[in-house]
Chain A
Amino acid sequence: MSTKAETLGTAPTEPRRIIGKRLEKKDALAKAQGRLPYAADFSASDMLYAKVVRSPYAVAAIAEINTESAKTVPGVRAVLTAKDIPHNSIVSRFGQSTDLGRQFEGTYRVLAEDQVRYYGEPVVLIAADSPEIAEKAAELIDVEYEPMPGVFTVQDAMKQGAPGVGGEKSNVVSHFEVRRGNVEEAFASADVIVENTYTVPMADHAYLEPESGMAWMDENGVLVIRVATQVIEHCYDIADILALSHSQVRVAGTWVGGGFGGKEDMTVEPYIAVLAWATKRPVKLTFTRQDSLIGHGKRHPFTMTYKTGVKRTGELVAVKAELIADAGAYVTLTPWVLLYATANACGPYEVPHVEISATAVLTNNCPSSAYRGFGAVQPNVAYESQMDELARQLGMGPVEFRRKNLIQQGSQLPHGHHYDRPVLADTVGSQVWEAIQARPLPSPRGDLRFGRGIAYSMTSYGRLMFLRDTSRCWIRLERDGTAVVRCGVPDIGGGQVSSLRFIVCEELGLGVDQVEVYNADSVLTPLAGTTTATRQLYMSGNATLAAAHELKRRLSEKAKSHLGPDIDRFAFEDGYIISQTDNRRVALSEIINECYHDGVEMYYEAQFNAPVVDIPTSAELNTPLFADYTFGAQAVDVAVDTKTGKVDVMRVVNGLDVGTVINRLNCEGQMEGGTVQNLGYALTEEVTAPDGIMTSTTFGEYLIPTTLDVPDIETIVIESGTGVGPYGAKGVGEPSCNGIAPAILNAIQDAVGIRVTSLPASPERVLSALQAL
């Protein structure tokens, strides 16, 4: 195993003590020892256990729900249906966003009302003294369903006269376009044109921690929800559901056992909230794995038809693409995902003539929603397959061909963004390709054929700028020279909390054991926004930096009487403030005590505001959407067994321009983990649901990678220092998973000469493509 790190671009102007080092996360020890409490580890003495009764049909009218016999079971404390919930249906918002027009609205329904739209849709809630009693009561719930015809493919859903999933005439719920130049004229001038239709499946996050939480009414009548979530701001949605005021609901987030977007929508919160509110007792709910796989939104399946034209000399002339996304049975975050996909449809390439049409359609499948990559991953599979195919037909190397077409600083992106930041995509891609080529591919042996492929990626970090994103962080210095940080950031395992700790340590010259971070409480910590969109380091990191800077300013003012007036030359190191002019020093704690004595506030809450743009006013995009992007490349070597069709990934090189490394261990860990998560997407993972009835409801059927499926992974970390996060950092979480799937498809093509256009590239699929040769 090898891990290589390189630094390019702007070197840091001053040596850093903490930032960029290989540091252990403080929470890791308690996690390893089994001492760190997750949501399912909490309980209360008088607690009730919740059970969600789900629909066994994908599409059915609910004629009647009889709960009487369930209610008579001893120990059953509540049996609720939609009519028992003050506002069972709410218009879902997106984190902290304001009203953004109908295209961005989605109905959120706690329980099905007169009809179920998808298999497993919640219909009845039960709270009982034990899980066994709740289970028994669930068996006695008598729902009279009248099965109805449904639509399970986007093609069927778009047909004239198709059943309306949401009760409206059309199942189309979102549509965006990008137009530049004249694609038809451009295709006429192209020397080579490649056309393909790609399909990518519904995929599950498969975090190891099933959804869990507990809710109770506190002594003041405030509803408290302790839950594993990526979004503590769902307290406002819960308040709306129960017709409570916003100040009457508190979400206390726990350490989260994996999120990847799957704990971005509400999970158990509405169920336990409603039951605790109805029974006035603490209510706990932990999903079974089956509940989890059936009950949360998935990565959108896409059908993507691409036509790409290029000159003989290698310059792209036109891309025309039609993207169709399966939204599933409710809108959830679909419009946002589709917007990302539309903006990402051409990848990191300069294309003079572009026509993108993207449409999302309701079906009676499980709702699709947020998943790591959020609409950037699906088109990446298509455009990087197209790029590979074009390079082959032109007889050019994959890196050479891409180099001719990459965007550069100052390029105009097709959706209307003048991108004025440095683009190191070629540096990343060249190094990744060089690294994979350092070892030759094996020669064919027996049924095995070997191949090599590469794919590039461009992934935004930070939310859509028209959402006017904000984050806040509060720091207090103690008299002994230690610090307390409060920030609403949920930590889902990516080191979100430890990054903030390291920033405070770096700025104030403290050791990692001298800073405590308190996080993820919608009331007790300043709201920091969602742990989604690869935004927390960027947003909360900048807020933390700003708070630390203000405290440093106050301390420096006070330290003048000790060190002289030249505060620009003060350094904060190892518990001292040091004048770099003459090396005079004073203990940090002494200055803090002086500040306390003189009434200088030794706490500060900073807010970081992301840059903003106006909301798009038409479906045709012509405005910047994201503040910045992370550029990456992944290369793989594969072995294809021509007898069985099995693809084995032997090596992976994952390279990213991360801007600046905050914690090198975390950064590399994210890159390795992202690689493997989407290696599963490429080869084995697929949510299966014939006629809407989900059959992949265990890890025996939904196959995520194991230790045996994963190769050597080499990470190449480039530091351009050009990101918009603290110290020039870019985002890593989502970018690290992008690129691997098309790289594998391109390597399969290299090995056996077939273009797999549907994921996963399962043995069956590869074998049938081989047999069609």
Chain B
Amino acid sequence: MTEKETPITLIVNGRTHRVFVSPSALLLNVLRDQLNVMGPKYGCGIGECGACSVLIDGELSLSCLTLAVSVMGHVITTVEAVVEDPVGKIVADKFLSHAAVQCGFCTPGMLVAATSLLQSERSPSEEDIRQHLRGNLCRCTGYAALVRSVQDAAESLDGEPDHEMRAGN
């Protein structure tokens, strides 16, 4: 509680923020409590559920295990910006049309994870999809609709020109 807070710069969804954080502050809490970015969710706090998933420099990362001070100057992208990305938008559309969203609490993290897969692998196999999403727990859907959505999104992307991830736009 008495940890000294230091000013840092965080680049979140294309905007640069100056925040005061303690050295032990977690990115998830800084995003939610200081920057009002509510897409990443607290589900377990110890990296076992994936609800807090974000992209850091385009890499799928768990914000509940990331110290805010360690990502100073890095490009942080949360679901709020991922759904504005062309790939993320298609994934979101497919989540809806396959009813891969029930209670929705895992959905932001799941959407970030699924989008990060399709940005690096345009034609993933079902096994690729299951492997990539294995760290994102969902208790409502049984994953079937989620896997179908990602397969469908991949098919929609197939043949289209490569979309550049415009993280931070």
Contacts and interface: CB of A to CB of B under 8 A. Distances in A.
Contact of A706 (B78, B98, B104, B137): B137
Interface in B97-124: 97-108, 111
B137 A1 contact: no
Contact of B97 (A24, A206, A286): A24
Given A33-B79, A494-B102, A665-B99, A672 B142 contact: yes
Interface in B35-88: 38-46, 48-49, 51, 78-80, 83
Given A33-B108, A40-B42, A669-B102, 8 more contacts: A24-B99, A25-B96, A210-B43, A258-B103, A258-B139, A492-B103, A704-B137, A707-B146
A207 B139 contact: yes
Contacts of B32: 41
A209 B142 contact: no
Contact of B101 (A31, A206, A668): A31
A410 interface: no
A673 B148 contact: no
B131 interface: yes
A130 B5 CA distance: 15
Contacts of B136: 707
B153 to A, nearest CB: 12
Interface of B: 1, 32-33, 38-46, 48-49, 51, 78-80, 83, 92, 95-108, 111, 126, 129-131, 133-148, 151
A258 B105 contact: yes
Contact of A208 (B80, B103, B130, B144): B103
6 contacts: A28-B104, A32-B83, A33-B108, A493-B103, A676-B141, A705-B142
B142 A210 contact: no
B102 A673 contact: yes
Contacts of B143: 676, 705-707, 710
A94 to B, nearest CB: 24
B144 A1 contact: yes
A672 B144 contact: yes
Contacts of A256: 103
B20 to A, nearest CB: 14
B155 to A, nearest CB: 13
A297 B39 CA distance: 29
B46 A32 contact: no
Contact of A27 (B41, B78, B104, B108): B104
A33 B80 contact: yes
Contacts of B141: 669, 672-673, 676
Contacts of A494: 102
A668 B78 CA distance: 30
A700 interface: yes
Nearest to B105: A257
A207 B106 CA distance: 10
A482 B139 CA distance: 35
Q: Is the interface of B mostly helix, strand, loop or mixed?
A: loop
Given A33-B79, A669-B99, A700 B48 contact: yes
Nearest to B84: A33
A208 B44 CA distance: 8
A455 to B, nearest CB: 17
Contacts of B146: 707
Contact of B38 (A24, A37, A493, A707): A37
Contacts of B108: 31-34
B139 A677 contact: yes
- What size tier do the contact residues of chain A reach? 35 or more
A207 B103 contact: yes
A708 B145 CA distance: 14
Contacts of A259: 103
Given A289-B43, A493-B140, A675-B142, A32 B134 contact: no
A546 B147 CA distance: 39
Nearest to A701: B48
A100 to B, nearest CB: 31
A36 B148 CA distance: 23
Contacts of B51: 208
A288 interface: yes
A592 to B, nearest CB: 31
A700 B39 CA distance: 24
A40 B49 CA distance: 17
B99 A28 contact: yes
Pairs of residues from A and B, 5 with the lowest C-beta to C-beta distance, nearest first: A34-B39, A493-B103, A31-B104, A257-B105, A676-B142
Contacts of B95: 28, 32
A255 B92 CA distance: 19
Nearest to A135: B1
Contacts of A705: 142-143
Nearest to A674: B142
A24 B96 contact: yes
Nearest to A255: B104
A130 B100 CA distance: 36
Contacts of B151: 1
Given A258-B140, A289-B43, A707-B130, A38 B105 contact: yes
Contacts of A260: 139
Nearest to A287: B42
A133 B3 CA distance: 12
A600 interface: no
Contacts of B142: 672-677, 705, 710, 713
A708 B99 contact: no
Nearest to A207: B139
B134 A208 contact: no
A8 interface: no
Contacts of B48: 289, 698-700
Q: Which of B49, B99, B134, B141 has the most CB of A within 10 A?
A: B99
A143 interface: no
A457 interface: no
Contacts of B41: 38, 40, 208-209, 257
Contact of B83 (A1, A34, A698, A712): A34
A136 interface: yes
A503 B97 CA distance: 20
A61 B51 CA distance: 39
A27 B148 CA distance: 20
A79 B102 CA distance: 38
A365 B88 CA distance: 45
A612 B145 CA distance: 39
Contacts of A156: none
B131 A708 contact: yes
A136 B1 contact: yes
B43 A707 contact: no
B133 A25 contact: no
A669 B78 CA distance: 26
Given A133-B1, A676-B142, A707 B92 contact: no
A209 B144 contact: no
Contacts of B138: 208
A288 B49 CA distance: 13
B42 A132 contact: no
Q: Which of A34, A210, A255, A286 has the most CB of B within 10 A?
A: A34
Contacts of A34: 38-40, 78-80, 83, 107-108, 111
Contacts of A5: none
Nearest to A708: B134
Interface string A124-147: 000000101100100000000000
A205 B111 CA distance: 23
A707 B129 contact: yes
Contacts of B40: 34
A28 B96 contact: yes
A32 B96 contact: yes
A535 B135 CA distance: 33
A442 to B, nearest CB: 18
A773 B153 CA distance: 48
Interface string A707-719: 1101011000000
B82 to A, nearest CB: 9
A677 B102 CA distance: 14
Given A673-B142, A677-B142, A710-B144, A132 B137 contact: no
A696 to B, nearest CB: 12
Q: Which of A257, A705, A713 has the most CB of B within 10 A?
A: A257
